[in-house]
A and B are shown apart, each in its own frame.
Chain A
Amino acid sequence: MSTTSTLALTVNGERRDLAAGSSVLDLVSSALGRDLGPDGRPADGGRLGVAVALNSEVVPRIRWASTPLAAGDAVELVTAMQGG
């Protein structure tokens, strides 16, 4: 792992560097600081309450693990906030 290159992408409008080969699942897990199973659900049970759009397309939770990220991708990571 030590010599792997990084890929630069945009997460919620801010530049972020991830290890090359990272998936959407890796990104969500690191952003939230929670371990996720391959189905995208928290390893500790409970609900995650977030969703991901990759280049303006929703990526369903079940496909997070199998969706690789590429340099230049724009990711939106959203959750419920006060409103309405």
Chain B
Amino acid sequence: MGLPTDHRGADALAVEDPFVVDGVALGSRLIMGTGGAPSLDGLGDALDASGTELTTVAMRRFSAAEQGSLFQLLLDKGIRVLPNTAGCFTARDAVLTAELAREALETDWVKLEVIADETTLLPDPIELADATEQLVSRGFKVFAYTNDDPVLARRLEQLGAVAVMPLGAPIGTGLGILNPHNIELIVARAGVPVVLDAGIGTASDAALAMELGCDAVLLASAVTRAQDPVRMAAAFRHAVVAGRLAAHAGRIPRREHALASSPMEGRAQFL
């Protein structure tokens, strides 16, 4: 894998083992969302602590009353912006939202989110596939937020998505990764990067996602709604690096019974 093996900090390791998506190398495998933060200042501090180089935003009506500009904050920090289509229930709305995002933010990257209903916020697979096809044909680079369904993930890749982003659990639940086996299946069959998106609650969830073979993790609420967002962001910064290293370090097999690590020979004999 060419992964660094020394014991330098998480940042050095992340830079030497970049996350490559759509031909772009990012020095962090943590993609941050911006939803749920009470203030732009607090959000900025958390983004700094996370080390992220790619961050999602929603497209919403401009309001002159809004204090500060999130877009400007991300520009100032040199963080690449990934607009999403959150809140769209149909392919039609998602395509129009993506077109607006491309126009406003001057990027052809889009996190495609087409949800079925407001209770589960689960992706609607039919609309999602339809929107992916339409957006790819219009030149977008689609990061497809999807169910943890290996078949659907494969279909989205075949339709031209540059990354597939299966959920660990429904958005905002913090339930972690409910079906690790499916995530492993998605990773095993994917030819594009797999990003674990949604459901992350704490650092160990992100480490597990990376251990399952995911290329990156996307989260928002786990940081922005934590009691100490900056500390939690730092925790995630380390967790994705730890999980990535572990994933390629060849973990020991699970065993039924204990296996002593100290030799039985040469023990002192006590009378």
Contact = CB atoms under 8 A, between A and B. Distances in A.
- Interaction A to B: yes
Contact of B104 (A33, A49, A82, A83): A49
Contact of A80 (B36, B63, B105): B105
Report, as a range, how many residues of chain A touch the other chain: 20 to 34
Interface residues of B toward A: which range?
35 or more
Contacts of A76: 61, 100
Contacts of B100: 51, 53, 58, 76, 78
Contact of B35 (A13, A32, A51, A84): A84
Interface in A3-56: 12-13, 31-33, 47-53, 56
B61 A83 contact: no
Contact of A61 (B33, B36, B103): B103
A40 B63 CA distance: 19
B59 interface: yes
Interface in B79-132: 81-84, 86, 96, 99-106, 111, 113
B103 A32 contact: no
A31 B65 CA distance: 11
A59 to B, nearest CB: 8
Given A33-B64, A50-B62, A77-B62, A84 B105 contact: no
A79 B60 contact: yes
B75 interface: yes
Given A47-B106, A76-B61, A82 B35 contact: yes
B20 interface: no
A81 interface: yes
Contacts, number: 103
Contact of B70 (A33, A48, A51, A80): A80
B56 interface: yes
B223 interface: no
A79 B103 contact: no
Given A33-B64, A49-B69, A53-B100, A81 B105 contact: no
B175 to A, nearest CB: 18
Contacts of B69: 49, 79-80
Contacts of A12: 61-63
B72 to A, nearest CB: 7
Please indicate which of the listed interface residues B35, B71, B75, B83 has the most CB atoms of chain A within 10 Å of its own CB.
B71
Contacts of B81: 80
A60 interface: yes
30 contacts: A12-B63, A31-B62, A32-B62, A33-B64, A47-B71, A47-B75, A48-B104, A49-B69, A50-B62, A51-B100, A51-B101, A53-B96, A58-B103, A61-B103, A76-B100, A77-B61, A77-B62, A78-B59, A78-B61, A78-B62, A79-B61, A79-B104, A80-B58, A80-B69, A81-B59, A82-B36, A82-B58, A83-B58, A84-B57, A84-B111
Given A47-B75, A84-B34, 20 more contacts: A31-B62, A50-B104, A51-B59, A51-B103, A53-B96, A76-B61, A77-B62, A78-B62, A79-B61, A80-B58, A80-B69, A80-B81, A80-B83, A81-B59, A83-B56, A83-B86, A84-B33, A84-B57, A84-B82, A84-B86
Interface of A: 12-13, 31-33, 47-53, 56, 58, 60-61, 76-84
